[in-house]
Structure 1
Amino acid sequence: MKHLFLLGVILVFLGICFPAIAQDMVTPRAFGEVSAEPECFNIVNKAPYTVFGSVNSNFFIRGDGVKTRHKSNFRLESESYVRFCTSGPFYDGHRMELVLRTIVPIFECKTTILEDIIIDGYRKEEGGTETKASCR
């Protein structure tokens, strides 16, 4: 009897620590267009200072049913560039989301990736910077 009680306690403990989660697998589904081959583009920093940002895809549903999207962060020194390649999923018009940030987002747009994306900016006389990108 003592062994059955101990076994019961162990099973309850394991059930609490490692719950069995039954999830139905779903067919992955993109909210936007997906290309068969990766498409590549450059982000070029023409601003006289370093910029930080990210490139984000449209959302999609993973096989486990979770809604998510692809996100790639970048840090670009002045007069440098970074190359990205993606198959999507894209937003309408074959676009990706571009976000420039300091600690918080300072510029955001959805842009095509058919040509280089140029980041430009300047230092304000009163302090701070003004930063933008060529979104088409």
Structure 2
Amino acid sequence: MRLLYFALLTLTFHATPTIAQEITSQPICFTIRNEAPYRVYGDVTTNYYTTPDGTKARHTGTFRLQKAGTRHKTEGHPLDISEFCSSGPFYPGRQLEITLRTFVPVFSCKTSIEAGEIVIKGQRKKEGGVRTWAVCY
């Protein structure tokens, strides 16, 4: 019994190798574009990292994009697209997590930012409501 207890303690406290998280020296920039016929809200989040005091944290950027094709009334720039830049830490494959939300999350995925653009799609349902998603790689 003591041997079993010792074996369980050894397995519990045995150091497991950690995967090094990629952090780039220069930020990688990408855009998020809304193709849905309505406004969308969401955030882009990095992988977890450990702060100097030992707390686990993540970097988060939020966005609010107007319906597809919307432009600023006086300046003319598009309001359905937003640019982000990140140095990580990334999930494997230089991925970040994107979450689309109303009051609660309605869609979430991890997607590569290497393509340079994340596209949000959406459609209105016949029975009411909407279906919203992002094209994730």
Superposition TM-score tier, normalisation by shorter sequence = 0.7 to 0.9
Query: SS state of the match for residue 58, structure 1?
Result: coil
Residue from 36, 54, 60 that aligns with 1:47 = 36
Does structure 2 conserve the Cα–Cα contact (< 8 Å) formed by 1:31 and 1:60?
no
- What TM-score, normalized to structure 1? 0.76
Alpha-carbon distance, 1:64 to partner:
1.5
Give TM-score, length-normalised by structure 2.
Answer: 0.75
SS of 2:88's partner is coil
Query: What root-mean-square deviation, in Å, do the aligned CA atoms of Structure 1 and Structure 2 show?
Result: 1.2
Deviation at 1:114, TM superposition (A): 1.3
CA-CA distance at 1:31 after TM superposition: 6.0
Moved over 2 A (4+): none
Aligned equivalents of 1:31, 1:120: Cα separation in 2:
33
Instruction: Indicate the residue corresponding to 1:126 in structure 2.
Output: 127
1:98 maps onto 2:98 in alignment: yes
Structure exhibiting the larger radius of gyration computed from Cα positions: 1
Q: What is the alpha-carbon distance in structure 2 between the residues aligned to residue 68 and residue 60 of structure 1?
A: 6
Gaps of 5+ in 1: 1-29
Matches within 5 A, 1:15-94: 32-79=21-68, 80-94=80-94
Equivalent-residue separation in structure 1 for 2:100 and 2:37 (angstroms): 15
SS at match of 2:128: coil
> Identity, % of aligned pairs?
48
2:122 is paired with a residue whose SS is strand
CA–CA distance in structure 1, aligned partners of residues 113 and 93 of structure 2: 10
What is the CA deviation profile of residues 91-129 of structure 1, one whole-angstrom value per residue up to 9, with x for unaligned ones? 011100000011111100000001210001111010000
Q: How far did residue 32 of structure 1 move?
A: 1.9
Matches within 5 A, 1:109-124: 109-115=109-115, 116-124=117-125
Shift of 1:78: 1.2
Count of residues in correspondence between the two structures = 107
Amino acid at match of 1:128: G
